[in-house]
Every structure is written in structure tokens, then in C-alpha cells.
């Protein structure tokens, strides 16, 4: 009996000692071993840590890979925005910190948008297929309110003339998403201006040659319409007024028709700032993106379509189609060169858009100076027509918007 009691006491003592040692060992375990933070390494791009310890406030921390170029776009964006990272440590910054993001800071986040757009095309296995789809899905799951999921690109040339011109375009590329680049002016360098100026001279020279040998190519939509009416005895000012009225009436009629916009599509990213910047990126995504997979004939068709689509700007003469098509070919050469260097469609579109935007900036300046010098007082009448067209269009659009809002409110009251 005594032996049994001694054995029982000995066992109980060992059990109590084991429990105490186990609890102490677990208590002093390092915290990172208790917390599981999924890490998604993306070779040659980034390391993405998704911490969901707090389900209501997940945090994503992104470090750029050491093999990512020092002058790469993401590093440039990181250096520009790091001033706002008060919670970042010096060690994180030295380790290549790119982004710290939670549910609140994810909305309208240019860094997160650029990262997701880059991952959409990142192919680290070299098989021609992007490899980051699962990581993008994890980010979207952790931050469902990010609103940075890229939209599918859809060009806005949907009028009768636009659809006719776009019918000759080659098929769009796969995974065609809307991309944003902020302000393109920050990337313009002296070499862009030095190259754009000769291009402008070439285009002006080609237009002059065409109008000299083919006089009918000097007409635009506006001048052609007014010339025909003048030959019928209609005064010039009346012809201009009638033209403006027809344009405003046509746009007013089109605005009343409901537009069928496919959900999840768009043309210009909210992260491309400025009208002219957005226009340059839009045209590069429409007429150049994907050209690395086109045949020579398909590239020629795209350049022709690029020249023709500008006739939608009612003051462009017919003689501008061929020179602008050649300009589009030069932008395509820039796109293809950058793509073959980087294998990145995003960077190739950016490179071509910067050259395109530089050309547009110089061309606009040359146009303003030329109108002021060559036409003098008569330019005031032309500017007045353009101003009336813009103001009239916005006026009727505002009326239609109020009318539609009133109709929606009435329908909502009826529904209630």
C-alpha cells in the first residue's frame, strides 16, 4: 500500500512539473512564431506580406525584390510617396519597402494600383503567361474595398465614324486592362522635346505638300461644310452657326439615348492625372498596345486607323491623315523597342505615352502661335466658334443630367 502511494505521488509530481515547464516554454515563444503571416514572394518583383491577425483591419506590406531595377517605375513611386510612411522603420526602408496598406488607405491608392497592374503582366517563369493571378486574388480578398482592381480596357470611339475606323484595327491584346501613370510631365526629358520638334516640322511639311498638289485635302469637316454652303449663297457666319447648331443638336440627341456600358470596363484610369495625359495613354493603349504580336500588315492598319480617327477633331484637314499615320508608326517603334527591352506592356505603353504627350504639348503650342500670327483678328471668330461649341455641349449635357436626375427621383417615389 505504501509502495502504491509513493508511485502515485511520484507520477503526480512529474505531471505537475511537466505542465509548469510546458506553459513557461510556450509563454516565452517568440511572437512571430505564434503569428502566421502569409508571404508571397514574386521573383524579380516583390515580396508581399498579408497580415490578417485582425480580421477587421488586414495589413499588406510590400518589399521590392533586390533584383528589381533601381530606376524601375515602382522604386520611383516608392521614393516619391515614402514621406507619408510615418509608421515605417528605417530597417524597412532599407529593405526595399514599397507599400504599407490597410483597408482604409487602399482606396484610391496609386502605389497599390501600379503594383497590381504590374503583376497583371509579370511573367517570371518565362512561359508567356502572367504568374501572379493568385497573389492578386489574395490581395483583393484581404482588401475587398480597394477599388484598385483594374478595369478591362474599352476604347471610347463608339460613334458611327469611330466604329467605322475601329473596324480596320487588329484584334486587341489579351488581358487588356486600363493603366494609370499619374502625371506624364514628370517623366519628360530634354531628349523628348528635341525629338518631338523635328516630328512636328515633318508633319507640317507633309501636310503642306499634300495641300499644294491635292488642294481638296486642305478641307476639314468645318471648312468643307462652310465652303459648300458659301457656294450656295449662305454667308460664312450663318454657315458656322448652322454647323455649331447641328453638332450640338446631334450630341444632345445622342445623350438622350441610354448608353450600354459593360460593367467593369473603362478607358482612362483615375490615376492618370490631366486630360491631355489621359488622351495620350488612351491612344497608346488603343493603337499600340499588343502590337508586339501583330503582323506587319496589322501594324500598318493600326497606324492608318490612328490617322483617320483624328478626323473626328472637326478642324483637322484631310491632309493630316497620312502624316499622323507616320507619327503613329514612330510611336509604335518606341513601344516595340521598350517592350523588347523589358518584356513589359505596361512600361512600353508608358514610354510611348511620354513621347506622345511631349509631341502633343509642342504641337499645341505651335498651333496657338500659328493661329495668332497667321490669322490675326480672324482667329477670334474661330476661337469664338470653338468656345460656343464647348459651352453649348456642356450646357445641354447639364440640362440632360438634371432631367435624368428628376426622372430617377420620380421613379424612386413611384417605386416607394
* Predicted TM-score (pTM) of this structure: 0.76
Beta bridge partners of 59: 51, 102
Residues 30, 52 contacting (CB under 8 angstroms): no
Burial class (CB in 10 A: 0-12, 13-18, 19+), 280: buried
Q: How far is residue 412's CA from residue 226's CA, in Å, rounded to a whole number?
A: 47
Provide the pLDDT for residue 110: 84
Is residue 159 helix, strand or coil?
Answer: coil
Q: How far is residue 405's CA from residue 411's CA, in Å, rounded to a whole number?
A: 10
Among the listed residues 77, 92, 91, 35, the one whose alpha carbon sits nearest the alpha carbon of residue 58: 35
Provide the pLDDT for residue 337: 96
Q: Dig out the grid coordinates for 400 from the structure.
A: 440632360
Among the listed residues 377, 379, 368, 388, the one whose alpha carbon sits nearest the alpha carbon of residue 243: 388
Provide the pLDDT for residue 102: 83
- How would you classify the pairing of strands 59-64 and 97-102? antiparallel
Which DSSP category does 182 fall into?
Answer: B
Residue by residue, what is the 3-state secondary structure of 90-134? HHHHHCCEEEEEECCCCCCCHHHHHHHHHHHHCCCCCCCCCCCHH
Phi, psi of 122 (to 5 degrees): -75, 120
Provide the pLDDT for residue 29: 41
CA dihedral 164, 170, 173, 176 (to 10 degrees): -10
Q: Dig out the grid coordinates for 166 from the structure.
A: 475601329
Helices (H), 288-377: 296-309, 321-342, 345-370
Q: How far is residue 115's CA from residue 193's CA, in Å, rounded to a whole number?
A: 29
Q: How far is residue 47's CA from residue 288's CA, in Å, rounded to a whole number?
A: 31
Kind and range of the H or E element at 14? helix 2-27
Burial 309-335 (b: 16+ CB within 10 A, else e): bbbeebebbbbbbbbbbebbbbbbebb
What is the mean pLDDT of each successive set of 10 residues along the chain, which is 416 residues long? 47 47 40 54 87 82 85 80 57 72 81 88 79 84 75 84 92 88 89 91 92 90 83 79 73 61 78 90 95 95 95 88 95 95 91 95 81 59 61 55 47 40
Provide the pLDDT for residue 391: 60
Q: How far is residue 409's CA from residue 199's CA, in Å, rounded to a whole number?
A: 53
Provide the pLDDT for residue 223: 83
Kind and range of the H or E element at 171? none
Domain ranges of the chain: 39-146, 160-404
Amino acid at each position: 500500500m505504501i509502495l502504491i502511494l509513493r508511485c502515485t505521488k511520484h507520477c503526480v509530481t512529474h505531471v505537475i512539473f511537466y505542465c509548469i515547464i510546458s506553459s513557461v516554454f510556450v509563454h516565452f515563444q517568440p511572437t512571430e512564431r505564434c503569428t502566421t503571416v502569409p508571404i508571397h514572394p514574386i521573383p524579380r518583383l516583390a515580396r508581399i506580406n498579408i497580415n490578417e491577425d485582425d480580421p477587421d483591419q488586414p495589413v499588406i506590406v510590400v518589399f521590392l525584390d533586390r533584383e528589381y531595377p533601381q530606376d524601375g517605375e515602382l522604386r520611383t513611386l516608392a521614393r516619391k510617396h515614402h514621406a507619408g510612411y510615418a509608421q515605417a522603420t528605417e530597417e524597412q526602408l532599407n529593405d526595399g519597402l514599397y507599400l504599407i496598406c490597410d483597408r482604409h488607405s487602399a482606396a484610391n491608392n496609386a502605389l497599390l494600383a501600379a503594383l497590381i497592374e504590374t503583376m497583371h503582366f509579370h511573367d517570371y517563369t518565362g512561359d508567356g503567361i502572367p504568374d501572379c493571378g493568385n497573389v492578386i486574388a489574395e490581395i483583393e480578398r484581404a482588401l475587398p474595398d480597394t477599388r484598385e482592381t483594374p478595369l478591362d480596357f474599352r476604347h471610347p470611339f463608339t460613334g458611327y465614324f469611330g466604329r467605322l475606323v475601329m473596324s480596320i484595327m487588329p484584334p486587341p491584346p489579351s488581358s487588356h486592362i486600363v493603366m494609370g501613370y499619374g502625371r506624364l510631365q514628370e517623366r519628360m526629358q530634354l531628349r523628348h522635346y528635341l525629338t518631338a520638334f523635328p516630328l512636328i516640322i515633318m508633319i507640317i511639311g507633309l501636310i503642306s505638300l499634300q495641300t499644294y498638289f491635292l488642294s481638296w485635302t486642305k478641307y476639314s469637316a468645318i471648312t468643307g461644310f462652310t465652303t459648300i454652303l458659301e457656294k450656295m449663297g449662305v454667308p460664312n457666319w450663318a454657315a458656322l452657326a448652322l454647323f455649331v447648331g447641328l453638332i450640338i443638336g446631334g450630341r444632345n440627341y445622342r445623350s438622350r439615348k441610354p448608353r450600354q456600358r459593360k460593367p467593369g470596363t473603362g478607358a482612362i484610369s483615375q490615376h492618370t492625372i490631366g486630360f491631355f495625359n489621359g488622351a495620350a495613354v488612351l491612344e497608346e493603349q488603343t493603337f499600340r498596345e499588343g502590337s508586339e504580336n501583330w503582323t506587319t500588315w496589322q501594324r500598318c492598319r493600326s497606324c492608318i486607323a490612328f490617322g483617320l480617327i483624328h478626323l473626328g477633331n472637326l478642324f483637322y484637314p484631310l491632309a493630316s491623315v497620312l502624316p499622323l499615320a507616320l507619327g503613329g508608326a514612330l510611336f509604335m517603334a518606341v513601344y516595340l523597342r521598350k517592350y523588347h527591352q523589358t518584356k513589359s506592356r505596361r512600361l512600353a505603353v508608358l514610354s510611348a505615352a511620354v513621347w506622345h504627350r511631349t509631341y502633343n504639348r509642342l504641337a499645341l503650342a505651335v498651333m496657338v502661335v500659328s493661329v495668332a500670327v497667321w490669322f490675326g483678328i480672324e482667329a477670334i471668330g474661330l476661337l469664338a466658334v470653338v468656345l460656343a461649341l464647348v459651352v453649348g455641349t456642356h450646357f445641354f449635357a447639364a440640362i440632360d443630367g438634371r432631367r435624368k436626375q428628376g426622372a430617377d427621383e420620380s421613379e424612386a417615389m413611384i417605386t416607394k
